[in-house]
Homo-oligomer: A and B are copies of this chain.
Amino acid sequence: MDLNAYLKERRAQVDKALDTYLPGEDVLPISLHKAMRYSTFAAGKRIRPILMMAACEAVGGTVDKVMPAACAMEMIHTYSLIHDDLPAMDDDDFRRGRPTCHKVYGDALAILAGDALLTEAFILLSRLGEDGGVSLEAARRVSADIARCAGSMGMVGGQVVDMDSEGKEIDLATLEYIHTRKTGALILASVQSGAVLGGASSEQVDNLGRYAKAAGLAFQVADDILDIVGDQELLGKDVGSDQERGKATYPALLGLDAARDRAKELRDVALESLSGFDERAEPLRSIAHYIVDRSF
């Protein structure tokens, strides 16, 4: 399949839906909605919403059922980036090649724009079962899964341990603890929510969960590799910024070659988890390749 064309089409769908769901720049308070939109429409890859749609399709569901949840996921991802970039946190001036939210709107409004995006995600999720297209129980379960994966034992927890580990020697177990939460948790929630909303069996949800865990970790290993060997344009942030900051990375811990082997191994686990799925899982397979192969 032509993954680039697929990703491009899906990205356009997500962008269009995000534009519909987010309050307009003419809605009060204007500065807040501008800041929320500035970061949301900062050329993101939309990988989480696309994974949710692809998981839904893989089990025979239709994509429009997951769009509110897919956009909610992207809003949660965006809020986490805004807060991560703050001076009190990673203090990054650029993100996806553009000045970060707080550089443009100031720290206070960036904090509030993040807060509002997280809240907006739950506004969207609470509307999931509204029109009967999705069962209320599936909607409830998806909201619960996404909230748990975004919370103190998921994404936020991973961020805290990541922060605590900066400049320290950490072992592989701690590094994986960080990544399975900081980035892995939302990817897991995306894939499993897409499956649930698509009407998956519990066995399918489990297999797609295994796919998501492996692909999510592979994504992070590949990102660490790209931080060393990639170019700034592809990465959207400064090359070598993790190293500069004394962050533990897979290449730092394992060496570059072993990190690449680990990425390939995880890709293969992801692919193997899809063995019981038919050609409708082809996008998920291509994405597993794409995630890892970009780091070669």
Spell out A's residues near B (CB within 8 Å). Answer: 23, 27-29, 31-33, 36, 79-80, 83, 86-89, 106-109, 111-112, 114-116, 118-120, 122-123, 125-127, 129-130, 136-137, 139-140, 143-144, 147-148, 150-153, 156-157, 159-161, 163-164
> How far, in angstroms, from A124 to B19 measured CA to CA in the complex?
29
> How far, in angstroms, from A157 to B88 measured CA to CA in the complex?
23
Residue in B closest to A148 when the chains form the complex, CB atoms: B123
Would A153 and B111 be within 8 Å (CB), given that A88-B88, A123-B148, A126-B147 are in contact?
A: no
Query: Are the CB atoms of A147 and B122 closer together than 8 Å?
Result: yes
How many monomers of this protein are in the complex?
Answer: 2
Query: Are the CB atoms of A88 and B108 closer together than 8 Å?
Result: yes
> How far, in angstroms, from A157 to B163 measured CA to CA in the complex?
29
Listed A/B pairs (17) with beta-carbon separation below 8 Å = A28-B157, A31-B164, A32-B152, A80-B115, A86-B88, A88-B88, A88-B108, A89-B111, A111-B111, A112-B160, A112-B163, A119-B147, A120-B152, A122-B125, A123-B147, A129-B137, A136-B137
* Binding site secondary structure of chain A: helix
> How far, in angstroms, from A100 to B56 measured CA to CA in the complex?
44
Query: Are the CB atoms of B122 and A156 closer together than 8 Å?
Result: no
Residue in B closest to A130 when the chains form the complex, CB atoms: B140
What residues of chain B lie closer than 8 Å to A118, measured between beta carbons? 115, 118-119
Q: Which of A147, A150, A152 has the most CB of B within 10 A?
A: A152
Query: Are the CB atoms of A32 and B156 closer together than 8 Å?
Result: yes
Q: Which of A32, A119, A130, A148 has the most CB of B within 10 A?
A: A119
What residues of chain B lie closer than 8 Å to A27, measured between beta carbons? 153
